[in-house]
Amino acid sequence: MPVETLELGVNGMSCGHCAARVEKFIRQQVQSVEDVKVDLEGRKVTVRCDTSKAGVKEIAAAVEAAGYSPVLP
């Protein structure tokens, strides 16, 4: 199980509710997530997950589903 930390930018977040929504969607939609940290000021999200089951593409899709724009590395 290759657990890695992945990071990508998120445009459009402006408040704590936005950050909580992004975290919720990632936890619900991305398989094998161990941890999610949303940095509102830095406009980014850091996710620890099993990269054999999910990657940046899946995280970006969850961010989009939450209504925000992912910024791919």
Instruction: Give the integer Cα–Cα distance in Å for 41 and 56.
Output: 21
For 11-60, write each residue's pLDDT tens digit: 999 999 999 999 999 999 999 999 999 999 999 999 999 999 999 999 99
The answer to whether 6 and 52 have CB atoms below 8 angstroms apart is no
Q: Bridge partners of 3?
A: 50
57 in helix, strand or coil? Answer: helix
Q: At 69, is the pLDDT very low, low, confident or very high (cuts 50, 70, 90)?
A: very high
* pLDDT greater than 90 at residue 1: no
19 in helix, strand or coil? Answer: helix
pTM for the model stands at 0.94
Interior angle at CA 46, CA 45 and CA 48, nearest 5: 145
**What is the maximal distance between C-alpha atoms in the chain?**
35
